[in-house]
Amino acid sequence: MEFDETGGEIDVDNANNSLSHFMQSKEFFESLDILLKSDKENLSKEEDAAQEKILGKAITLINPYQEQPYLLDPHLEAMVKPIIELLRSYIKSVNASSLVLSKNISIVSSEDIIKVPVKIQRLFILMYYIMKIRGFKTILKFFTHEVSDLEPTFYFLVVLNTKDFKAWETRYVLLIWLSLICIIPFDLKTVDSKASGSEGNKFPLVDHIIDLSKFYLKVTGKERDAAAVLLSRLLTRRDIAEAYLLDYIQWARDEAKEVKDVFTITGIFTSLCAIYKLGQRQTLLPTLETAWPCLFLLEENNIFANNTLVRKMSVKLAQRIGMCYLKPKVASWRYQRGNRSLKDNLEVSNKMVIDPSNVHHELKESEEEEEEIPDQIEEIIEILLNGLRNKDTVVRWSAAKGIGRLSQRLPQELADDVIGSLLELFSENTYTRNGIFEISAVSDYTWHGACLAVAELARRGLLLPERLSEVIPWVSKALKFDLKRGAHSIGSHVRDAACYVCWSFARAYAPEVLAPHVSELANNLVVVSVFDREVNVRRASSAAFQENVGRLEIFPHGIEIITEADYFAVGNRVNAFLNISVKIAEFEEYRNHLIDHLSTVTITNWDKSMRELASKALNKMTRLDLDYVINKILPLLVPQTLSPDMQIRHGALFAVGEICLAWSTIQGNDKSWIEKHESLITQISKIIGSLPENVFTDFGSEVTCQAATHYIACLAKAGWPINNDIFEGWKKVVYDLLSRKDEYGQGIAVDANAYARRGFSLALGLIKFKNIKEYLEPVIDALIISATVQQTKVWNDAETRRNSILSVTKIAKNLGNDFKTVCNERIFEKIINTYFMGLEDYSTDSRGDVGSWIREASMMGLLEFSPLIIKLDSNSSKQWWNNELSTKIFRNLLKQSVERIDRVRSCAGKILLELLYMKRGRDDDSWIFEIPGRDELHKVLPRGEEIHWMSPSELYPRMVKLLVIPEFRFDLLTGLIVAAGGMTESLVRYSSATLIEYVNSLPINSSSESKISLIDLEKSLLDIAKHYEKQDRILVPLLEVVDLLFEAGTLQKITNEGDFDFLELFECVKKAVKCKDIRKLTACMKVFCGMTTLSDKVRNKALYQLLGLLVHQFPKIRRNTADQLYLTLTGSIEEENEKSLEIEEILTNTDWNEPIPQLKEARNKLYPLLGIKPPVLKSSS
């Protein structure tokens, strides 16, 4: 699972990705049909590659269904049968049964080994993948299984090349196929054509199959698993078992004792496990004594002790042997909550009522039956209990299932002893210190295994209700199991297993049985659902809670909670902490437990982001129960702020700050709380002063510094009652952090001051400066400085810049008609230039384009400020305003009205219309702004017509028409280009498509019919490229637009070099290509490709640059350049010749991922082929 700490986990298993049916069935069967009908034996290299590609496509089409394989079921017969029929036909045609076999089945003469056609191999490969996805047991239903298939299939397997590592899928499918044929009820000797014992064939077919299987048990591939399946099915046949089973068990035991190869021991154990699973108990009983030593091989031979698979198989074999020792039965003493299947319930409802006394009598009789339990069972139970402690999950899981299965066949007294031993695993290495129960020394593996075993016992009804009072306290501890290990913690698997236990309880017990434990279970599950760090644990807990609600209906407010905390809702950690938990906390039954968990567990978590989230959640919880937090939680947290443990100190500081902020917000203007809680408030106020100085300077001090500044910021926002000494102490901490060498320390100090800076900048706008003129200019200067983007990033606060511009506007608006009286022209120029400066603010941070806030504030400022000055000028002899300023305003508004962000476009568009149609006054009907192109503006933006500024599809076809106005063309075109490089698909599609379509429709030269020409627009593009050559925000989308114009064939229309100088554009692109930005490099490369379609002079220069990019340091650029150059050159070549074919071969067949020195040789061949002089190294003088 991946994490995004700003918004919780990234949910890879999103519901939208789930499939509903085999959507690619048509494509798959088309590919299968091609593979089946391929009759040609000797394929050319190209044909073979095509067939391989078709096979790869077929596999790719079914691979996504591994998680939902049942969706393939309706198509399985059509998928499998044609393949099997063809394979069967081929196998019979080989006629391999004429071989004479020796005892060592692996020794086959080289003349007898056959080479399987590639077509047949591919069909075997495809069949393997179908088996892999749906499971071989399901797929075997569609295999042919006639008696006559046995010998041909077996002997075909024999004559395969066992050393051909590429044919392992073929061998796997054949072994699985043989396992099906072997279980057909017929006498194997009757189909053995060599059973008469002729001289060259000493052993019957069964011996050969067993020998072959033994050979494949030792290989490293999947054939080992298939051989184990074949052996288990063959040897558990009643007629075969009598003669061969005991011999095989003896061979397996002896081989396992001597073998040193891990693959061989794995194969042997796998086959034994399969045999003791499939075989009938009466058949297997005589072999138990022979197989018994196999259970202790790992103790005797430590060479395999660390192999997970071998340990798993050893535990699995122990439980399978144990199952054979015990008679198969369902424990009569188990707890039964009605029937456990719908079928049984329906059957019971249709039967006559049974006399309860008879049932009791029969049950008593069955319980009184005494069964002798073999001594070996005790040792097997011990093996399984030790398996629960194993370090590997698969081993523990196998052991847990084994304990459940064996307990089901044991008498109640012995099963109770097993449960007692199981519960003792929880108490291993636990102790009590200072009255606190400690589990810091326990093994997480043991707890995980014990939880799995408890769940298995509960699920089977073997954990009787009287044991629940012992089990549930341990399960509650397991639900919150989290042991710190260095810089991280362990225990998520234990918590997940504990959720499985709770889920099992819901399915096993009646409501009245669990009723005494409802409060403990419900509270713990809710806490884990919303506050656990791991998404899988939150979801597991949510599922367990939902299961309990659905089956028991005794969890308080269950329906309301599962509606909020469902599987997908808890997938996002931030949402779970800050939204879902708060809604659940509205119910009193859960509130205190949630708050307690946050303040005692989560706030001390090893993960810093978890502690910060916990503090924010406490802020919201405080608003629900202020008294409980003040009286119970704060007194515990305040001492922890001085803890020597950095993590506890950090969490406590964050939590106290957030709680105090919420506390102050709740009280509002009521100050009586200050006297009531004076002692606690004083303690909180003195926290920063009480911190030792070394916590701000020692290693890892950044964490405490961040917590301290967050604490100060929260209390500052809360208006916390403090005296001057405490305030000075806070200032000292903040100033010390500002003086730190690292920007991180400065940044968190600025964060603490950010709220104050934003507040001060807004507050200045409310001051009436009419009577305090002497302060006006210094205040304006200060606001302008704070509205300016600073060189030091840590001082850049977008909200402060926005607030400063808003305050400048408020000051001007408050002065109103007195503005020219109070202010001089110098102040006017500063203010108007500040607005224009704000319109160029495109700064970004983690929140995106925060500069848009400043641009919006600047546009709103121009709406208020510019009409005010123009009206004041009309009554004054001194004119401050001029038409150039009017044109500049409209240029900027037009630019903003077509840019990327919908909100900014809407703001700019509405202000543009308001200023466009604004008149001087009641008596003067003239337009307030004198601007060029007004008639065209009125035509495109008519008054009274609703314009949807947020709709790209409607806006851009309208606004592109205004490019005819020369004075606005540069800025409007810039805005359109920026939109073409936007992030949303619809914006890019409509802006770029509209622009390209418009440019393509322009005549090459101006005429009386058209006020703008293609050449005019290209000159504007060149001007923009030169002006913004160092601003990638504009230059990159401009290059992409130029590339689109080349693709559309628009720029190629300009054939007269005197009309437009493409060399100037080339020089701009040449400068831009000297960078390391992939997107920018790709855009430059595409423009160079477009330039190869121009005159020879430009073409040769562009090709020279492209050949240089073929050996660029970035492999991606090399590959993309080769691909694009190939497409460009093939599109421009009218007739192919030797040169063009050689160029194509070099571009397509060269692996451009190779090291650059190796690529230069291939690249250098292109210079003469393209008619370009290769570069010459200048000799150093």
Question: Is the Cβ–Cβ distance between 567 and 18 less than 8 Å?
Answer: no
- Cα–Cα distance, 1109 to 1121 (Å, whole number): 7
Res 222: pLDDT: 92
Tokens describing residue 170 = 């073929």
For the record, the structure tokens of 364 come out as 């008593």
Q: What is the DSSP letter of 927?
A: B
Q: Are 625 and 634 in contact (CB under 8 A)?
A: no
pLDDT confidence of residue 467: 93
Which pLDDT does position 864 carry in this prediction?
92
DSSP-H helix ranges across 553-607: 558-564, 573-575, 581-585, 588-600
Strands 8-10 and 431-433: unpaired
Mean pLDDT of 890-914: 92
User: For residues 953, 957, 962 and 964, what is the CA-based torsion angle, rounded to 10 degrees?
Assistant: 150
User: 1068 with 1029: CB under 8 angstroms?
Assistant: yes
Confidence label for 842 from pLDDT (cuts 50, 70 and 90): confident
β partners of residue 489: 484
Q: How many CA atoms lie within 13 A of 67 on its CB side?
A: 7
Residues composing the chain: 1181
pLDDT the model gives residue 338? 57
Cα–Cα dist 997/702, whole Å: 55
Residue with tokens 């100090």: 749
Residue 112 makes CB contacts below 8 A (sequence gap 6+) with 96, 99, 159
604 and 611 Cβ atoms separated by less than 8 Å = yes
Q: What is the largest CA-CA distance in the chain?
A: 130
Please compute the mean of the pLDDT values over residues 1116-1130 and round it to a whole number: 88
The amino acid occupying position 1057 is: E
Q: Residue 295 and residue 900: Cα distance in Å, rounded?
A: 70
* Site of tokens 């059509």: 78
> 941 by DSSP, 3-state: which?
coil
**Strand boundaries in 603-688, DSSP class E:** none
The SS3 call for residue 983 is coil
CA 1140 to chain centre: 46
Contact 1012, 1026 (CB under 8 A): no
Q: What is the mean pLDDT of the chain?
A: 85
Tokens 């393209």 appear where? 1170
Burial of 360 (0-12, 13-18, 19+ CB in 10 A): exposed
Mean pLDDT of 678-698: 85
Record the tokens describing residue 361, joined without a space: 């009598």
More confident residue, 922 or 754: 922
Out of 288-302, 438-452, 591-605, least confident range: 288-302
- Here the tokens at position 620 are 């919201």
For the segment 757-769, the average pLDDT, to the nearest whole number, is 73
Range in 396-400, 426-430, 657-661, 765-769 with the lowest mean pLDDT: 765-769
> Is 352's pLDDT higher than 60?
no
Is 359 a residue whose pLDDT tops 60? no
Following CA atoms 294, 298, 299, 302 in sequence, which dihedral angle do they give, to the nearest 10 degrees? Answer: 150
Residues 6+ apart with CB under 8 A from 284: 245, 275, 276, 324
Q: Tell me what the mean pLDDT of segment 463-491 comes to.
A: 91
Cβ atoms of residues 641 and 687 within 8 Å: yes
- Segment 295-321 shows an average pLDDT of 87
Helix, strand, coil shares of the chain, percent, nearest 5, are 70, 0, 30
Better-scored residue on pLDDT, 545 or 1147: 545
Sign of CA dihedral 852, 856, 857, 858: positive
The helix/strand/coil state of 205 is helix
- What are the tokens at 90? 């081929």
**Minimal CA–CA distance to 708: which of 730, 728, 723?**
730
- Is a pLDDT exceeding 80 seen at residue 512? yes
> How many of the other CB atoms lie within 10 Å of CB of 112?
14
* CATH class of the region 328-337+376-509: mainly alpha
Task: Please give the pLDDT value at position 541.
Answer: 96
A 10 A CB-CB count for 217 gives: 25
Residues 6+ apart with CB under 8 A from 1111: 1118, 1156, 1159, 1160, 1163
Phi, then psi, of 86 in degrees rounded to 5: -70, -40
Determine the residue type at 1110: L
Contacts of 1096 (CB under 8 A, 6+ apart): none
The domain spans of the chain are 65-235, 244-325, 328-337+376-509, 518-586, 590-739, 1094-1170
What mean pLDDT comes out for the span 791-818? 82
Distance CA 117, CA 43 (A): 11
Q: Tell whether the model's pLDDT for residue 796 goes beyond 60.
A: yes
